[in-house]
Structure 1
Amino acid sequence: MGSPGLGNQNSGQRLGITEPISLGGPTDYDVIKTRELEKYLQDVGLYESQVEAVRREEVLGRLDQIVKNWVKAISRAKGLNEQLVQEANAKIFTFGSYRLGVHGPGADIDTLCVGPRHATREEDFFGELHKMLSEMPEVSELHPVPDAHVPVMGFKFKGVSIDLLYARLSLWVIPEDLDISQDSILQNTDEQTVRSLNGCRVTDQILRLVPNIQNFRTTLRCMRFWAKRRGVYSNVSGFLGGINWALLVARICQLYPNALPNMLVSRFFRVYTQWRWPNPVMLCPIEEGSLGLQVWDPRKYPKDRFHLMPIITPAYPSMNSSYNVSASTLRIMTDEFQRGGEICEAMEANKADWDTLFEAYAFFDAYKNYLQIDISAENDDDLRKWKGWVESRLRQLTLKIERHTYNMLQCHPHPGDFQDKSRPFHCSYFMGLQRKQGVPVNESEQFDIRLTVEEFKRTVNMYTLWKIGMEIRVSHVKRRNMPTFVFPGGVRPSHPSKATWDSRRVSDAKVSGHAGSDKSGEVKGVADGQVDGKKRKRVDDNEDAQSKNGKYVTAAPSSIPEVQVGSPAGTMISCSARGDHLDATGSVEPTKGNAESNVTNGSKNPSTEQLSSHNGEVDGSLRCTPPHKGLHVTADAAASSEEAENLAIEKIMSGPYVSHQAHQALQELEELEDDLEFRNQVVSVGSTNNGPLQSSVSDSAGAAPVVSSNGAGSSISLPASGGIEELEPAELTAMTSIPVASVVQRKPLIRLNLTSLGKVSEKSG
């Protein structure tokens, strides 16, 4: 456990772009709870053994010697004189979770090889070094990816997983004491080198900018574990990855420099529940630099204005590390922050414990309807490549569905894949589906996502390295028909015998009349009129800015159909909102609420709404905030402390990047962002009788997904079997771009539901 005082070399200096919110030290309660947390993290196996730690050090030392021998060998082969050959040097740096000191057993080590100007990436790194490694018996699973956004060579060395990047500097000789934190190191380097160096530079800068490294590490271990348990740890899925969580935790450490991990975890949830995205999280001011590299700035670059959850890297060139976040994933994460805050408050009242905070999210109980994306290939190597490509494109399916249904159909991607052991060279991904809350239902109106799904499949099948056997299939599956291989041990769990925190939240929200605890629900306090006029204007202004954001424009016709999925014939079931959790009796309790408030403004805490009349009365941030409420703090003092902190949190969210401007070409800009990486890798594929395009169309005669509505309520239509249906193409008509002025006038794509066959109401999930 770290000491309560400042423990970094920056002791005595302000860290961050604002003053701390509180300089208060830990209470006895904090000390006790921090010890409990450390023991909990130890017990769940988040720390590696001393034997494994020593083995990692040995592997890194051996790898450093290998790259030194490699650079001398290629220097001699290029005809350099013997003196230059002897002086030739390369050096290994680490970054990521290993460098931050928060890695667990068996984790990869992110490494960077820095070499001289005459050691090229293509011929020497991916050529000669790859050849050297392939001939070593200690090396296995060698996999070079030279055409990645950040070129990498992955392999295992004596069983330790290594991801090796390469940075080619403009120096003839790499000094052993090279300092890569200096901006001058980036001079005369290519883009791949800048991106490769960025990982190390950002990691080292984070460690410089936190007041107590040990407290930061413990808190970050906690938040990484929590995020994985709650299903919000995945950059590629539109949630947050390791660097994002590190930056968020580091900012909390700056705002509470003398706090122990228990308080830092609590304040993490309090601050980010109230954070008004897209206000950026920054550890230090953004420097323009002298090298002319582009840095994140929505005032100058239109594309940056469309980022929903900016988390800015602290090393030059500063960039947004969380550009993958979508409206749906932001809504899910902000509700998880609110849930975490509620549990931390309950822990202080002895009504919850660390087990409660780390309860795993029951993804396959949360919805009635899912999309299942199956991919397959002919061998392991092809599947690995195909899987990596499809994973990188899955986020586009979420964005396309939301955009083409005007955010009426919302997606929750599961971060990770599942494998059916009975099917070799195959894996599946899942997305939960829910209609948007709070919209009226019109008869015979449908959202048709068949074209959307087919467009996605065609895009995926334009993979430049596509081979025969690489296939993708997108199906609709109901919760009750979920394949058993998604469950632990391949066994479908029975209904829980006792209520979880999540089910209690849903029940409490239902009883109290507001659904602030639902991921898709409206925010606590707002429904009860707790927002005064001044605060409401600020909220509305922020929502207006977000609605102009272009990336997630919500259509607002006078009457909007409830979102459902239908087919020409089959069983009809309700398409409920996310949050169909089991209560203590095992029955399904639907949640209520309005998703729009979370989409546009994050989850708002009632305390900040109630305190709006005091907005602006805090002089900077609080230097003498009362200590963290604990064993020796009265209820009145605790409430006063929380009120003061909320005011300070409100204050720190002001800055030059708050106001986002509307952009005229909304659809064009969104397409540019969606396909920026893809356009460099796509080849044109025609409608041939054999080849990639053909594989995107199933030979099934099943019907496609149609999002529909009828007078009886929501519906998802399936074949008479009630099982899984393949999403097939509809007529091949193009979606037209929608100008800004017409967004609020046009209704979503409407198709008449002419089928009256097989309509049966669903009696269970």
Structure 2
Amino acid sequence: MASPGLSNSNNGQQQRLGITEPISLSGPTEYDVIKTRELEKYLQDAGLYENQQEAAIREEVLGKLDQIVKIWVKTISRAKGQNDQLVQEANAKIFTFGSYRLGVHGPGADIDTLCVGPRQACRDEDFFGELHKMLSEMPEVTELHPVPDARVPVMRFKFNGVSIDLLYAKLSLWVIPEDLDISQESILQNTDEQTVRSLNGCRVTDQVLRLVPNIQNFRTTLRCMKFWAKRRGVYSNVTGFLGGINWALLVARICQLFPNALPNMLVSKFFRVYTQWRWPNPVMLCAIEEGSLGLQVWDPRRYPKDRFHLMPIITPSYPCMNSSYNVSSSTMRIMMEEFQRGNEICEAMEANKADWDILFESYPFFEAYKNYLQIDISAENADDLRKWRGWVESRLRQLTLKIEKHTYGMLQCHPHPGDFSDKSRPFHCSYFMGLQRKQGVPVSVSDGGQFDIRLTVEEFKHSVNMYTLWKPGMDIHVSHVKRRNIPTFVFPGGVRPCCSSNVTWDSKRSSELRASGPGQAEKFQEGKVVVLGTNDDRKRKQAEDSVDSLRKSKSLASLPPSSRKVHEDGNPIIIASCCSVKRNDSEINSTSEQQSEKPDMKSLGECPEDRETNGSVRSNFQVNATLTAIDTPSSKEVEKLTVEKIMCGPHDEHQDFSEAPDELEDNLEYRNQVQDFGGNMKNSNLDSSNSDTTVASELIIPNKETTSPTCLYSNGVLESEELEPVELTAPLLSGTPAPKPRIRLNFTSLRKATD
């Protein structure tokens, strides 16, 4: 184990890393040493480390790939008429970045690689031409898939079974030296935009390793947080959560704030700091520098689009960018709930009331909601399905954004970060998205609580079917399914699980709250912690009335242990919790008065709220979390004030705006792969997935007199003046009749349904 006090240093002096002073320089206790060993063993047992044989294979593959690009660049130089000496000196070099370069990759993980070539080797003609041809003729290379039109052009393939993502950067040099240092800013001179983006991955990765005080502790903590994020379903950049580089930057900042802490401490501090973080204050490892090349850097003072990033996590190398631009209000809400849950579990671990198993419990996605969207895609063969799946997956975030925008944020979406395959259907896979009414939103009398998203879904399918590489057989089908009708192929072994009897964090916390007595039970409501005192009889009576109404429709015992549930009653019962605590009779509080109360911040945490402004929903997160009970009151207050000070950065004054931007833009990787609306398109139907659910979901469309903001359509026609004109009305072309919808989501008539 590395020395806990080891830091990057200069001439023997400890160097301060980060834009602020550390929160604490305290070293580990014996307890922290023991818990860190437990964590390392847990990660080993979970299979997160590759063995020596796998590591050797990767090294061999990278060596062969480096030799291939050297042969390739000499071939290109000779074909372009260079003399023998220049051909002999011609060179290209392979760099790695991402999880492999950071040292946190696991078995079977991709290797992110960058080929740096000279000015005579072009991207389109030579890299995606000649090098692609060379790789396609090699028996060791399989599943070769070039994506030249992506924002960051990439070639994906497997080399001896090792997955490779290969990028290309063309420098302005005639000869690439073997000792090339790509961290220098001068390397970006006279390069195109694609090269800058391609180089950014390597430059950011190397800079992160320079800016953490202890690389080994950083790696263990990052490996832990990535594993946690995958288990809790919040690891996916393309879906709108956070990807590998985002988690690396967040962990690196915690390492800077607690430079002498061991991984056990860093995991706990991670949750504590980021539940207090007042987004959209940016997370930065170093100051943003303008540079000398005039490249655009993240700056909300100058660039309006940067002002609307919800969760900015800034890359540390020039040009500094926001790495988390894909985060939406829905995915951020989910992540903040998970941070709060992680913080409470870490507090419980310090009190010996929880262990690592509880922290890494899988999120029960298919138990958390009563209504889902199922997106089925299929193709004629495996190669077509791989391309089609990549395209559709890149567009799913747009479906989330459009649903939330069309319903003014009242219908919340939770995309599952991954696909499922039905073994009985070749070349087919499915994506799922949980749906729920925003907690606390009253049901409109005029529309009966309906959310008519038929045209929204048709619009999404319309945009998906404009894929320029579309081939016959590439189909997409979207359907509304209830929890009880979720297909069995999504479950392990293809068997739908019965009610779980395992003791989870939720059930354990529920039991503790019941045992704590009526005067001390904490009520969690819409992300806020609310304490009911002994004099709150009226509020408790209202909570009990809510429980009684819930019992009429179904038993509390059948509720899934999740904080994100759907309730279709006319007066929704609020049982959401920051830490996904399962509720019982004495723990449910649904009064609107409690939602507006300000609890005592010394004893309670305040979780994210959504603020509506002119019909646009924007998240303005001001989170203050309870610090661990093991700390003294003075250290709690000092740490809290220090975090507040850290967040009072230069961009703080630019974060409050009256409107949200139009986030509905093309995904960066596939933004150039969309045809004009006059191009070839396919028609696809939106059907109910199960005939016995149609009665519950097929309801009338809101009429013209309906003025409720939840009703966005009138007689099946999109009310375009309420929406963004370009992005949202383009599929409804002039002279083109509105698509005939066949499914509607409704949350009122489902009251009588039971699971």
Q: In structure 1, which of residues 644, 659, 662 is the aligned counterpart of residue 638 of structure 2?
A: 644
C-alpha distance in 2 between matches for 1:755 and 1:643: 47
C-alpha distance in 1 between matches for 2:42 and 2:407: 44
SS at match of 1:736: helix
Q: Which residue is 2:603 aligned to? A: none
Q: In structure 2, which of residues 291, 300, 303 is the aligned counterpart of residue 301 of structure 1?
A: 303
SS at match of 1:459: helix
Q: Contact 1:444 / 1:708 at 8 angstroms: preserved in 2?
A: no
Q: In structure 1, which of residues 430, 452, 461 is the aligned counterpart of residue 465 of structure 2?
A: 461
Counterparts in 2 of 1:735 and 1:67: CA distance versus 1, 3 Å: same
SS at match of 2:654: coil
Q: In structure 1, which of residues 514, 523, 528 is the aligned counterpart of residue 528 of structure 2?
A: 523
Q: In structure 2, which of residues 624, 630, 635 is the aligned counterpart of residue 605 of structure 1?
A: 624
C-alpha distance in 1 between matches for 2:686 and 2:370: 26
C-alpha distance in 2 between matches for 1:80 and 1:759: 75
Q: Which residue is 2:556 aligned to? A: none
Counterparts in 2 of 1:488 and 1:98: CA distance versus 1, 3 Å: same
Q: In structure 2, which of residues 484, 490, 506 is the aligned counterpart of residue 486 of structure 1?
A: 490
Q: Contact 1:495 / 1:582 at 8 angstroms: preserved in 2?
A: no
Q: In structure 2, which of residues 641, 658, 662 is the aligned counterpart of residue 670 of structure 1?
A: 662
Q: Contact 1:447 / 1:564 at 8 angstroms: preserved in 2?
A: no
Q: Contact 2:527 / 2:609 at 8 angstroms: preserved in 1?
A: yes
Q: Which residue is 1:735 aligned to? A: 720
1:414-440 CA distances to partner (integer Å, 9 max, x unpaired)?
000011111111111111111111222
Counterparts in 2 of 1:404 and 1:87: CA distance versus 1, 3 Å: same
Q: Which residue is 1:438 aligned to? A: 440
Q: Which residue is 2:3 aligned to? A: 3
Q: Contact 1:26 / 1:260 at 8 angstroms: preserved in 2?
A: yes
Q: Which residue is 2:33 aligned to? A: 31
Q: Contact 2:8 / 2:14 at 8 angstroms: preserved in 1?
A: no
Alpha-carbon deviation of 1:292?
0.7
Please say if 1:654 is aligned against 2:648.
yes
Task: Give the counterpart letter for 2:382 in structure 1.
Answer: D
Alignment of 1:284-433 (within 5 A): 284-433=286-435
Please say if 1:694 is aligned against 2:683.
yes
Alpha-carbon deviation of 1:168?
0.3
Counterparts in 2 of 1:185 and 1:760: CA distance versus 1, 3 Å: closer
SS at match of 2:41: helix
C-alpha distance in 2 between matches for 1:161 and 1:586: 48
User: Normalized against structure 1, the TM-score is what?
Assistant: 0.80
Alignment of 1:478-557 (within 5 A): 478-505=482-509, 515-516=523-524, 521-524=526-529
C-alpha distance in 2 between matches for 1:636 and 1:91: 51
Q: Which residue is 2:456 aligned to? A: 452
What fraction of aligned residue pairs are identical, expressed as a percent?
72
Q: Which residue is 1:684 aligned to? A: 676
C-alpha distance in 2 between matches for 1:60 and 1:54: 10
Counterparts in 2 of 1:755 and 1:636: CA distance versus 1, 3 Å: closer
Counterparts in 2 of 1:596 and 1:248: CA distance versus 1, 3 Å: closer
Q: Contact 2:207 / 2:316 at 8 angstroms: preserved in 1?
A: yes
Further displaced range: 438-447 or 92-101: 438-447
User: Normalized against structure 2, the TM-score is what?
Assistant: 0.81
Q: Which residue is 1:214 aligned to? A: 216
Counterparts in 2 of 1:585 and 1:684: CA distance versus 1, 3 Å: closer
Alpha-carbon deviation of 1:590?
7.8
Counterparts in 2 of 1:755 and 1:465: CA distance versus 1, 3 Å: closer
Counterparts in 2 of 1:386 and 1:164: CA distance versus 1, 3 Å: same
SS at match of 2:662: helix
Structure 2 gap segments, 5+ residues each: 534-564, 596-606, 611-617, 703-712, 725-742
Q: Contact 1:434 / 1:575 at 8 angstroms: preserved in 2?
A: no
Counterparts in 2 of 1:335 and 1:694: CA distance versus 1, 3 Å: same
Alpha-carbon deviation of 1:674?
5.6
SS at match of 2:17: coil
Alpha-carbon deviation of 1:74?
1.0
Q: Contact 1:302 / 1:663 at 8 angstroms: preserved in 2?
A: no
Q: Which residue is 2:104 aligned to? A: 102
Indicate the RMSD between aligned Cα atoms, in angstroms: 3.6
Alpha-carbon deviation of 1:522?
2.9
Further displaced range: 580-589 or 677-686: 580-589
1:676-713 CA distances to partner (integer Å, 9 max, x unpaired)?
777643223359xxx5242356699979777999xxxx
SS at match of 2:436: strand
Q: Contact 2:300 / 2:654 at 8 angstroms: preserved in 1?
A: yes
Task: Give the counterpart letter for 1:6 in structure 2.
Answer: L
Q: Contact 1:88 / 1:174 at 8 angstroms: preserved in 2?
A: yes
Counterparts in 2 of 1:575 and 1:236: CA distance versus 1, 3 Å: farther
C-alpha distance in 2 between matches for 1:480 and 1:580: 26
Q: Contact 2:701 / 2:716 at 8 angstroms: preserved in 1?
A: no
Further displaced range: 141-150 or 267-276: 141-150
C-alpha distance in 2 between matches for 1:169 and 1:754: 53
Q: Contact 1:6 / 1:212 at 8 angstroms: preserved in 2?
A: yes
Task: Give the counterpart letter for 1:8 in structure 2.
Answer: N
C-alpha distance in 2 between matches for 1:257 and 1:378: 54
Alpha-carbon deviation of 1:762?
3.4
Task: Give the counterpart letter for 2:609 in structure 1.
Answer: S
Q: Contact 2:337 / 2:578 at 8 angstroms: preserved in 1?
A: no
Counterparts in 2 of 1:708 and 1:662: CA distance versus 1, 3 Å: farther
Q: Which residue is 2:546 aligned to? A: none
Q: Contact 1:383 / 1:470 at 8 angstroms: preserved in 2?
A: yes
Q: Which residue is 2:752 aligned to? A: 762
Alpha-carbon deviation of 1:474?
1.3
Further displaced range: 431-440 or 338-347: 431-440
Task: Give the counterpart letter for 2:430 in structure 1.
Answer: S
Counterparts in 2 of 1:128 and 1:636: CA distance versus 1, 3 Å: closer
Alignment length, in residue pairs?
A: 663
Alpha-carbon deviation of 1:210?
0.2
Q: Contact 2:338 / 2:579 at 8 angstroms: preserved in 1?
A: no
Alpha-carbon deviation of 1:346?
0.7
C-alpha distance in 2 between matches for 1:580 and 1:351: 18
Q: Contact 1:499 / 1:582 at 8 angstroms: preserved in 2?
A: no
SS at match of 2:718: coil
Alpha-carbon deviation of 1:28?
0.6
Q: Contact 1:379 / 1:425 at 8 angstroms: preserved in 2?
A: yes
C-alpha distance in 2 between matches for 1:175 and 1:71: 13
Q: Contact 1:580 / 1:590 at 8 angstroms: preserved in 2?
A: no
C-alpha distance in 2 between matches for 1:320 and 1:584: 36
Please say if 1:128 is aligned against 2:130.
yes
Counterparts in 2 of 1:71 and 1:738: CA distance versus 1, 3 Å: closer
Alpha-carbon deviation of 1:376?
1.4
C-alpha distance in 2 between matches for 1:102 and 1:454: 41
Please say if 1:61 is aligned against 2:63.
yes
Q: Which residue is 2:179 aligned to? A: 177
Structure 1 gap segments, 5+ residues each: 529-561, 567-571, 609-628, 630-634, 710-727, 740-752
Task: Give the counterpart letter for 1:600 in structure 2.
Answer: S
Counterparts in 2 of 1:676 and 1:735: CA distance versus 1, 3 Å: farther
Counterparts in 2 of 1:601 and 1:83: CA distance versus 1, 3 Å: same
Q: Which residue is 1:550 aligned to? A: none
Counterparts in 2 of 1:514 and 1:602: CA distance versus 1, 3 Å: farther
C-alpha distance in 2 between matches for 1:754 and 1:293: 47
Task: Give the counterpart letter for 1:41 in structure 2.
Answer: L
Counterparts in 2 of 1:42 and 1:707: CA distance versus 1, 3 Å: farther
